[in-house]
Amino acid sequence: MSEKTEYSDWEPVIGLEIHVQLSTESKIFSNAPTKFGIEQNSQASIIDLGLPGVLPVLNKKAIEMAVKFGCSINAEISNTAIFARKNYFYPDLPKGYQISQLDDPIVGQGSVEIECNEEKKLIGITRAHLEEDAGKSIHDKYDSSSAIDLNRAGTPLLEIVSEPDLRSAKEAVAYLKKIHSIVTFLDISDGDMSQGSLRCDANVSIRKKGESEFGFRTEIKNINSFKFVEKAINFEILRQIKIKNLNNEIEQETRLYDSQKNETRSMRSKEHANDYRYFPEPDLIPLQISNEYIENIRKSLPELPEQKISRFCSEYGLSIYESEILNSSKGMSNFFEKVAISVKDVKTAVKWILGDFSAILNKNNCLVEDSLISSSDLIDLLNCLYENKISGPAAKKVLEILWNEDLKVEEIIEKENLKQISNEDDISRIISEVISKNPKQLEQFKQGKEKLFGFFVGQVMKTTEGSADPKVVNKILKEKLNQ
């Protein structure tokens, strides 16, 4: 039996737990700031440090964001949200318990639609609850001891738990991307996986195709990129299939994904699983959320990716494919729309944004939010192109320079002498000069050697250093040569 057929006997069953750091300015239970990457332990307040006698006070902004998310996946929002203590010891967990939610999570059942291999599928979301993030343990700073950075401690997290509805690593990635786009379009998270703003645990099991019972699952912890989610899940599926094909049982356990070796390995078995001893957090009273509050948030939800995709199609005449790419991130969507409303030709704008502009971003490994070319620069450039002030090749050159130098479009055209000559009289004069300088070629052309048309175009371009509008050149040259 080849591995391929062995594989095709099995059906993977996957569920994701996604931790989304909410972009509140202050922490979920204290007023310390939540900035990333600043000096270690400089933004942990006495509450985040869990000093004796401190008490948590819930950040209302985090509630609002959780409710926003709940509304956007059509979930039930709980009218009372209860916080609970999840008890475990770890050096980067200052209180020895994490304030989280167990019963009555703020967001109940909902769903999102994903598309994978051109098939649409509804993925159930079991719940989403609020909790506080832990700090970070740093194990490679000192030889014989570990360092703790508590800046992250108390950052609000929304943990989104899916149903085991996913059937492949690809579907898992599509689902993760969907959640990513929802939280970024809602502006409740920056979604930056490299900074840990969005992290994911994957529950993976396999079963024989056609079976309805689930197999024993393993949980892969803390995967932090789309690519790794796919790789980790695929590795785990194969690992489990290999075990099952040897008639062995899958051990229910927690595993870690090692991205360097591309493998998962055991972290702790079920027997060593923590007993978290959840109980209601007595320092916080149950949160009352009124229907009126929920409805107000529902009414003021921003446009979500799906709505934007269809609106861009109807409003700007995009294809679904183009619209989906342009709405793959909030930054790109906003950038495109800024450009689209100000350019004279949207079709060209789409072509440029998806083509050369995206290429420059990719080449520089840069998000559109951090683009060195502003939307107004691109608008200027596209409008110059539309008005035939510059040629396509010249526009490419301008784009490159815009990225590298702090100059305006007009300044670059001026400085690099890229202005396109499209005045018919000027071009006519240049063509006459070229023709009179090349009598031999003219003779041959007239005798039927039509290939030489290209020679004349080349000569005109050479004379004008490429700045003549090719359309005009073609038109006038044709007239003159056929006179």
Give the bridge partners for 260, in sequence order. none
In the complex, what is the shortest distance from the CB of residue 95 to another protein, in angstroms, rounded to a whole number? 5
Of 122 and 285, which CB lies nearer to another protein in the complex structure?
285
Element (DSSP H or E) covering residue 206: strand 198-208
Of 147 and 354, which CB lies nearer to another protein in the complex structure?
147
Helices (H), 254-369: 291-299, 305-316, 320-326, 330-340, 346-352, 358-363
Q: DSSP per residue over 9-24, as a string?
A: TEEEEEEEEEEEE---
Of 284 and 381, which CB lies nearer to another protein in the complex structure?
284
Site of interaction with another protein (CB under 8 A) = 46, 49-58, 85, 87, 89, 91, 94-97, 148, 275, 277-279, 282-285
In the complex, what is the shortest distance from the CB of residue 256 to another protein, in angstroms, rounded to a whole number? 18
In the complex, what is the shortest distance from the CB of residue 40 to another protein, in angstroms, rounded to a whole number? 14
* C-beta neighbour count of 445 within 10 angstroms: 19
Q: Cα–Cα distances in Å, from 156 out to 77, 130, 198, 285?
A: 18, 7, 12, 18
Of 57 and 122, which CB lies nearer to another protein in the complex structure?
57
Sign of CA dihedral 182, 187, 191, 192: positive
Of 50 and 331, which CB lies nearer to another protein in the complex structure?
50
* C-beta neighbour count of 246 within 10 angstroms: 7
CA 198 to chain centre: 11
Of 135 and 191, which CB lies nearer to another protein in the complex structure?
135
In the complex, what is the shortest distance from the CB of residue 254 to another protein, in angstroms, rounded to a whole number? 17
Q: Cα–Cα distances in Å, from 348 out to 41, 83, 88, 249?
A: 50, 52, 57, 58
- Residue 99 near residue 57 (C-beta atoms within 8 A): no
In the complex, what is the shortest distance from the CB of residue 415 to another protein, in angstroms, rounded to a whole number? 59
In the complex, what is the shortest distance from the CB of residue 269 to another protein, in angstroms, rounded to a whole number? 16
In the complex, what is the shortest distance from the CB of residue 277 to another protein, in angstroms, rounded to a whole number? 4
Of 44 and 66, which CB lies nearer to another protein in the complex structure?
44
Q: Cα–Cα distances in Å, from 261 out to 253, 269, 297, 426?
A: 20, 21, 45, 65
Of 29 and 312, which CB lies nearer to another protein in the complex structure?
29
- Residue 141 near residue 179 (C-beta atoms within 8 A): no
In the complex, what is the shortest distance from the CB of residue 52 to another protein, in angstroms, rounded to a whole number? 4
